[in-house]
Amino acid sequence: MKISAAIITGIYCLSLFLACKGNEEKPTSTNMTTLSGLDPRLFEGEIDGLRTGLFILNNEDGMEVCITNYGARLVSWMVPDKNGVMDDVVLGFSSLDAYLQAHEVYHGATIGRYANRIANGKFTLDDKEYILNQNNGTNSLHGGPGGFHSKVWEVLSFSDTEIKMHLLSPAGDEGFPGNLDVTLTYALNEAGELSILFEATTDAKTVVNLTHHSFFNLAGEGSGTINDHLLFIEADSYNPVNEDLIPTGIEPVENTPFDFREMRPIGSLLDTHHEQFEKAGGYDHNFVLNRFNRDRINWVAEVRDPKSGRSMKVFTNEPGLQFYGGNFLDGSDKGKSGKPYKKRTAFCLETQHFPNSPNNENFPSVVLYPGQMYKSACIYKFGGE
């Protein structure tokens, strides 16, 4: 398995962050007809006085990516199968209203300020305790109820292949310290890669952990189980969790159902009576990636759908990868195709720092200081067998 030339070009210095400036004209959504069948007009609205829209990226291979600035989220991604048939591989909805009414609020969203869970909704920096808004029992999950997934992002620039967005999270937002200034770039290239690139600065010491939260089904959204998808994760260790899904440490994957170092079906060991499945309802765990260097983008995972022939590789400069197997999808949401999103009909691979890192000094640090630049990269690359 080789990393593409597009990745190698930027691998040592994260040059992808600065590669494209985009269209400097005033950005607007488009009224063009989408390959996915989405109507851009249904994403035009106003939330808290800020305008929303749908933005469409294309490459020469016929891929189409639709993005909305509500939650800076990926709405659809049209990808060819082994016979050239296009399908939308991302779960989501056909209008802004549907996103606002959805039971699952994280579909395709940008997650911040802190991806995953912070135990008991609090942490300490420089002997000062910060109390966060709780939205997952006593935990703060994905930045709290008013996290980045619920914000309207400012569109800085927009072209056929790239969109750049901005968000200023004020000091005290959901309880986090410091004014956090975030820029996000989605870019689709000719190699079938969608890069999702974050930069952030702060004016006060804070904690930051940003990620992308698309729910994927490589057979097409609404197409049934993903347990027959094949998965590889380059990780010798993972974080087991307690009943509140808070990591209890780091343990080896060897001789456990969490060993994906050789590609195998996602559901092949789900019937195993393992205490972690009882606590999490299946796979909902952070994997400790073997290769981690903040200044280097590495290939860390791959998923294949044997039926469609589609494959997706994941690249990142993060130390962790949250693998979620769709355990809590319950059919209450109906997606773009009109089909209900049922249990384990999608998976997430979220590049990140470890859950609850602000409360665990043995985990890689998530502290950002004034004068530093936070940089995080997630790249999804589609191909065929």
The token pair at 357 is 């890192």
* 34 CB-side CA count, 13 A: 27
Of residues 136, 128, 214, the one with CA closest to residue 177:
128
Q: For residues 76 and 245, what is the distance between their CA atoms, to the nearest angstrom?
A: 29
Q: CA end-to-end span of the chain, whole Å?
A: 12
45-47 vs 50-52, strand pairing mode:
antiparallel
Q: Residue 205 class from Cβ within 10 Å (0-12 exposed, 13-18 middle, 19+ buried)?
A: middle
Residues 254-257: contacts with CB under 8 Å, at least 24 apart: none
Place of tokens 């004068």: 371
Separation of alpha carbons 36 and 341, rounded Å: 18
Pairwise CA distance, residues 181 & 204, whole Å: 11
Task: State the Cα–Cα distance between residues 165 and 68, nearest whole angstrom.
Answer: 10
* Spatial distance between the Cα atoms of 369 and 363, rounded to a whole number of angstroms: 18
* Cα–Cα distance, 323 to 349 (Å, whole number): 5
Catalytic residue annotation: 213, 350
| CA–CA separation, 120 and 117 (whole Å) | 9
Tell me how far the alpha carbon of residue 115 is from its chain's centroid: 9
Which tokens hold the place of 321? 């990868």
User: What are the b/e assignments for 343-379, b being 16+ CB within 10 Å?
Assistant: ebbbbbbbbbbbbbbbebeebeebebeeeeebebbbb
| DSSP assignments along 33-57, one per residue | PPTT---GGGG-EEETTEEE-EEEE
